[in-house]
Structure 1
Amino acid sequence: MEEVNPLVEVVFRLMVWLYSALCFLPSLLRRDLGQKSSSMSLEEQMSQLKARSVGGTPDGPYRDLKSQQKLACFLKAGVDTLDKVFETAAQHYHGQDFIGTREFLREEDEHQANGKVFKKVVLGEYRWMSYDEAYRSALSLGASLIALGQKPCHNIAIFCETRAEWMITAQACFLYNFPLVTLYSTLGGPAIAHGLNETEVTHIITSSELLEARLKLVLLDVPRLKHIIIVDSKVGSHYPRGIRVHSMTTLQEMQARPENVSCRDRKRPQPSDIAVIMYTSGSTGVPKGVMITHSNLIATMTGMAERIPGLCENDTYIGYLPLAHVLELSAEIVCVSFGCRIGYSSPQTLADQSTKIKKGSKGDTSVLQPTLMAAVPEIMDRIYKNVMAKVEAMGLLQRMLFFLAYNYKLEQLEKGFSTPLCDKLVFHNIRALLGGCVRVLLSGGAPLSAATQRFMNVCLCCPVGQGYGLTETCGAGTICQSWDYSTGRVGAPLICCEIRLKNWEEGGYRCTDKPHPRGEILIGGPSITMGYYKNQQKTQEDFFTDKNGQRWFCTGDIGEFHPDGCLAIIDRKKDLVKLQAGEYVSLGKVEAILKNCPLIDNICAYADSGESYIIAFVVPNQKHLMSLAKECGVCGSWEQLCYSSHMEEEVLKVITETALKAQLERFEIPRKICLSTEPWTPETSLVTDAFKLKRKELKRHYQNEIELMYNDK
């Protein structure tokens, strides 16, 4: 943050002091009346031990104090499978709104100055289905699938975007005990065929768009597939012989008739039955199917719910991340168990400024005004950089007042106090970007930079809780407490699991390290999944059961425990590369630090163990690169600037300055870079749906550039 005029700062603080003095007496009275909030200082709250090594040894296992006697296994007594979760919710919240979808009004062409034409949409209000309506819809869909030959305990696949029909399908499968195979909607043809063939599915639920664009291309490679159910009723033609295509709506209407009621007789799942076979996004090769049981998801829901304060039926959650990702699926099922509303969205329509929203019309957050939201760091980094770019464009006085308010609020948050005046006068418009009502924002999928986390806590006026978990642990691991505004940490273990550390000698991490024990993170407890589908060798490598019968997963991530029991992720075994001179470089660490540079939208560091230095591929921020080019007197189009060796040198200088300020070692700083003209999205297959780098794909994509950067010495 930039420096401000001392006189302006004095005036600002005087105004804030007067406001605080006027508000002190009412707030004191409220506290005396028993309305005291958690307004103790950060130091006081951190001093309350949240987790500890049960055996008293540095390696753990670490457990939350609430689960010392018994790890949590379910939210409510007797509700030990997902069908019971939905049935209980339908009984308690039957008439309340459950899942909502915005009405599509029209699509329009938007002409750009450069002659390009973009398709934009205009959307209406949310249309809602109640808990009772959704329950009956799931029952009829399950009965329809049985009528089409689907059998209990036999796999069924869903290959679809995040939408209301995805959740209806999932609940139907839970009710009828069909193990649900989930595939990311951005997977390529070979990965889709691999997942469908490995799980031997005969039925798949998808959308007409995905059927025509992706699934149709591999139908001949999936000989067991017999039935395709389309969620949006747009049934096409010209499919291979033996494959029948159905409309979900038509099937549900048929099974709702009185003569078909007998089809609803179903076999209830047991807690140990497989609920989901979740295929990973394939960041390191062929996607692996992780077998998740009903009891795994129930345990994870319990742990997540305990970390979300005040969760109730008055909350509204916005669902836009892939439901094929364990973070989104578990978050939405938690919402189901508490009677929350779930409004569906997409990254392209999320906010007023999103790429598919017509200028002047409203994005989904403005209409829905959610109170709960999950996000991956990539999306929050975009919000942070866009807002900060607008702040930099403000007049001097406006910019100065913003930074004064920002720094002041940061001070107050660390002391445990709120800043209602700053929130109302300064941060109101920024908070409105996500609808203005978000009270809890959960970040997962990748590390969140300290700068972005601080920005979100201050400007969105709600706690941003970093979490840590993996598909193999059913998303369970850790989540920060809502009052913990520290950065670089992912919180204490959830009550559904425990964590221990294991020495990694090669990387120099040991449980006896001072001041904090460090090592590979192992997660154990009822949330640990059964392993990889039809891959016993990999399952035995990554999972084990201890002498007490508890199941553990070896994450490959390196963590350290702080004195208050919070975990920090500091490295990853697979990201560690040994250079020619013997130095170890953590590629993930380098990327996390350099992504804080405003000039960088995305970066992938690369190192060849036979070389003495690292290189990097960079997706530059277009606005900042154009500005830098102007300062350097370089003219040209966007593509010309990215291909300019002079601009590569200038960007490398900025990257080097950022790295040195962050105290990276010289051998950790990229010596050469390659600028990319195109952003990395899941559609390009260079990142996963959670925007994690696919290092193998990136290496293959930039193979020529790698050879040039290393050979041109």
Structure 2
Amino acid sequence: MQSFKVPSSETPGYSSIYRHPDFKDGTQGSEYSHIKTLYDLFQHVVDKYPKRDFLGTRKLRSWFRSPSFGSYEWMNGIEASEFVDELGSGLDHVYAKYAPSHNPSSQEQQRQQQPLGIYSINRPEWMLAEFAAFRSRRYSVGICDSVSVGSAEFIMNHSDIAVVACSLDKIPRMLDRLHETPGLKVIISMDRLDCSRKNSFTQAFNADVVKQLKARAESLGLQMLDMDEVRKLGRTTPTEPSLPSPDDICTVCYTSGTSGAQKGVLITHKALVHSSKAFALSLGIRDSTYLSFIPLVHSFDRCCIYVFMLGHVRVGFYSGDMNNLMDDMQTLKPTVLAAVPRVLNRIYDRIAGATVGAKGLTGVLSRMGYKSKTKRIDAGCGPQHALWDRLIFGKVAATFGGRLRTLIAGAASISPEVLSFFRASLSCTVVQGYGQTECSVGGTVQLPDDPTTGHVGVPVPGVDIRLRNVADMGYQVTDAPCPRGEVLIRGSNVFSGYLKEPEKTKEAMEGDWLITGDIAQINADGTLTIIDRVKNILKTGQGVWIAPERIEAIYATHRLVQSVFVHGDEEQRDLVAVVAPDAAKFLPWARSIAKKDNKASDSAELSLAALCRNESVVSALLDELKAHTAATGLTAPEYIKAVYCDPVPFEGKGVGFFTSTAKLRRMLVLEYYQPQLNKLFETLNNSTAPTVQAH
């Protein structure tokens, strides 16, 4: 039994309470007890590892010709402390002069705290700005513009932001849309406004362009500074810190908006510290090098950084382009990595295709090695193998830098096949975790020595988990052999509520328990498997409940698929799907089919758009997907029976199909493709044969 089942804790309609096996009393023990706020955590790094590398970024080389990135340059603990102290002191002067007060009716302002907006992709200044805000009991609000067209402006208005720290490339947008954010008073550029330090954020700017931006800001009544100027203010006239308490808000983290409008989740220092300690105690990772690329606006990546800070971490930030991610890995050589399933699936497609999916001798040897290593891992002998690592999989590990010891998957469901592949091919510990923004990420995580897949582990230390009945969906905590029901979470990591939305806060809680909306089963060994979602499920005309995200995760592992959206309806018998193909793999495969069918003779008919309209090609794609899922455990009602093939990837739509953690915003996707999906259903109703729809 991997988790601890609290004796006599079950009640009618609710399962027993489950806890981490090493912390059966529900506490976290005394380790790290001196750290009560995130500012304490920062000081812990400064005091314990003052001269060790802390935050790193890649240097931009030859920007005036063909930009490329060099090695990582590092800031140590002492330098970070100086930066935070000066910036925090400077922020005191900025707020006092330009933003002395905000809306006194909001619940944060009743606590006399002020927000600092942070608007940038991942970089050292993001984290430094947040710690500088903590220095005077301010809190961070990460601003995201990838969810929808107006998401950045919504966040700034909803959280009453008057001061924003941002990268230089975000300033033109804020000036263009200033009329939509009347509360904004100050923009603080993370980059020097004299353009004397070129980096990936300032390539498109020069001194004249920035001068025009400053003049425009001044004409709009907006103060525009850079961090060096603010630091100089703090250095010249230092202020005394006003440190936060554990119950102070440390961040407002906006939900992804997968099931509706974004909500501002109020998270305290106590909650995030609790989760950070929980994962640190579970994973035991120390002296690590971590590559940060999951958006910091989401709590997942920040929590990972906080976790590793407890045992010292070198945080290297990616260069800003996901297409350059593998080069960042090979330059940084991380020892620990966290990633969301969408990123891992894309990497898996590329690496598996060159190894276990390859033709000839390489494919034969790779499959033999993979089978051998998987058996070894399942037997508890560890992921290393002297022969196969040297012959095949050492090259795979080298693409990740060659030093990876731990890979953490989170934020969404991922195929066990993908996890098993990475465990064997990278020869490292691969764990999956589960949590939500509302519980500061802290829910469950696999034990490091657990070689199995298909579950998300056990409760982290200091967190209680139980299930409750969901009768209308047929899930009962008395189900045999495994209790099933909606996941409830209790602990100090649970959020303080939704900003300005008390009714939604009440809906999210049952006493001290957070209502997650996720359906799980407790396995025989005490691990948790997420099997469904209360909101993101659908019922087909056959009366079968379907979890489309789980089905999509399986179809997304096919080599020809880049993105997939599965849909059904209570009035329709079968499932249909939208597939955006992976052009690099799809084109040669589809062209061979089109030519054999003698329906394509010129280059226009062999283009990606034309092939997505070719009925023979799309029919063959549907057959491929059917064969792919035959051995995955999907039942017949979960098979897609019709497909619409779109040559434009979901990312290229420009309408925010994905959240900051690469989850599909299902309602938006459904609305966008509703006409095509309706046509698929109409065709299915008139035919019993598998259906394809040309683009």
Determine if contact 1:543/1:554 at 8 Å carries over to the other structure. Answer: yes
Aligned residue in 2 for 1:190: 150
1:124 aligned to which of 70, 76, 91: 70
2:497 aligned to which of 531, 542, 558: 531
Matches within 5 A, 1:189-338: 189-212=149-172, 214-234=173-193, 235=210, 236-237=213-214, 238-239=216-217, 241-257=220-236, 260-261=237-238, 263=239, 265-309=240-284, 311-312=285-286, 314-338=287-311
Give how far 1:531 is off.
1.5
Determine if contact 2:608/2:647 at 8 Å carries over to the other structure. Answer: yes
Aligned residue in 2 for 1:24: none
Give how far 1:511 is off.
0.5
Aligned residue in 1 for 2:201: none
Aligned residue in 1 for 2:538: 577
Aligned residue in 2 for 1:154: 114
Aligned residue in 1 for 2:18: 62
Aligned residue in 1 for 2:690: none
The 2-side partners of 1:630 and 1:460 are apart by 34
The 2-side partners of 1:393 and 1:457 are apart by 17
The 2-side partners of 1:695 and 1:187 are apart by 12
Determine if contact 2:380/2:451 at 8 Å carries over to the other structure. Answer: no
Aligned residue in 1 for 2:343: 379
Aligned residue in 2 for 1:487: 453
Give how far 1:339 is off.
2.1
Distance 1:434 1:530, change over 3 A: same
Aligned residue in 2 for 1:457: 423
Q: Deviations over 1:575-619 (max 9, x none)?
A: 221223423222123212222322222211112222222211112
Aligned residue in 2 for 1:104: 60
Q: Which SS does the other structure have where 1:401 is aligned?
A: helix
The 1-side partners of 2:559 and 2:6 are apart by 40
Q: Residue type matched to 2:678 in 1?
A: E
Aligned residue in 2 for 1:90: 46
Distance 1:388 1:78, change over 3 A: closer
Give how far 1:306 is off.
1.4
The 2-side partners of 1:685 and 1:416 are apart by 43
1:173 aligns with 2:126: no
The 2-side partners of 1:154 and 1:366 are apart by 40
Q: Percent of counterpart pairs with the same letter? A: 27
Q: Which SS does the other structure have where 1:672 is aligned?
A: strand
Aligned residue in 2 for 1:404: 368
Structure 1: runs of 5 or more not aligned: 1-47, 110-119, 350-354, 546-550
1:142 aligned to which of 80, 83, 88: 88
The 1-side partners of 2:637 and 2:523 are apart by 28
TM-score by length of 2: 0.87
Q: Residue type matched to 2:258 in 1?
A: S
Q: Which SS does the other structure have where 1:619 is aligned?
A: strand
Q: Deviations over 1:169-203 (max 9, x none)?
A: 11111222102111224244422222211211211
Give how far 1:460 is off.
0.7
1:668 aligns with 2:624: no
Q: Residue type matched to 2:551 in 1?
A: V
The 2-side partners of 1:71 and 1:606 are apart by 43
Matches within 5 A, 1:480-519: 480-519=446-485
1:638 aligns with 2:635: no
Determine if contact 1:161/1:185 at 8 Å carries over to the other structure. Answer: no
TM-score by length of 1: 0.85
Aligned residue in 1 for 2:312: 339
Q: Which SS does the other structure have where 2:552 is aligned?
A: helix
Give how far 1:253 is off.
2.5
Distance 1:167 1:77, change over 3 A: same
Aligned residue in 2 for 1:45: none
Determine if contact 2:443/2:489 at 8 Å carries over to the other structure. Answer: yes
Aligned residue in 1 for 2:676: 705
Deviation above 6 Å: which 4+ runs of structure 1? none
The 2-side partners of 1:299 and 1:163 are apart by 25
Aligned residues: 635
Q: Which SS does the other structure have where 1:123 is aligned?
A: strand
Give how far 1:401 is off.
1.4
Determine if contact 2:26/2:464 at 8 Å carries over to the other structure. Answer: no
2:660 aligned to which of 689, 698, 704: 689
Give how far 1:572 is off.
0.8
Distance 1:394 1:190, change over 3 A: closer
Determine if contact 2:58/2:70 at 8 Å carries over to the other structure. Answer: yes
Determine if contact 2:58/2:319 at 8 Å carries over to the other structure. Answer: no
Determine if contact 1:479/1:492 at 8 Å carries over to the other structure. Answer: yes
Determine if contact 1:63/1:493 at 8 Å carries over to the other structure. Answer: yes
The alignment's C-alpha RMSD in Å is: 2.1
The 1-side partners of 2:83 and 2:165 are apart by 15
Q: Which SS does the other structure have where 2:681 is aligned?
A: helix
Structure 2: runs of 5 or more not aligned: 101-111, 194-209, 601-605, 687-695
Give how far 1:347 is off.
6.5
Q: Which SS does the other structure have where 1:529 is aligned?
A: coil
The 1-side partners of 2:431 and 2:515 are apart by 24
Q: Which SS does the other structure have where 2:472 is aligned?
A: coil
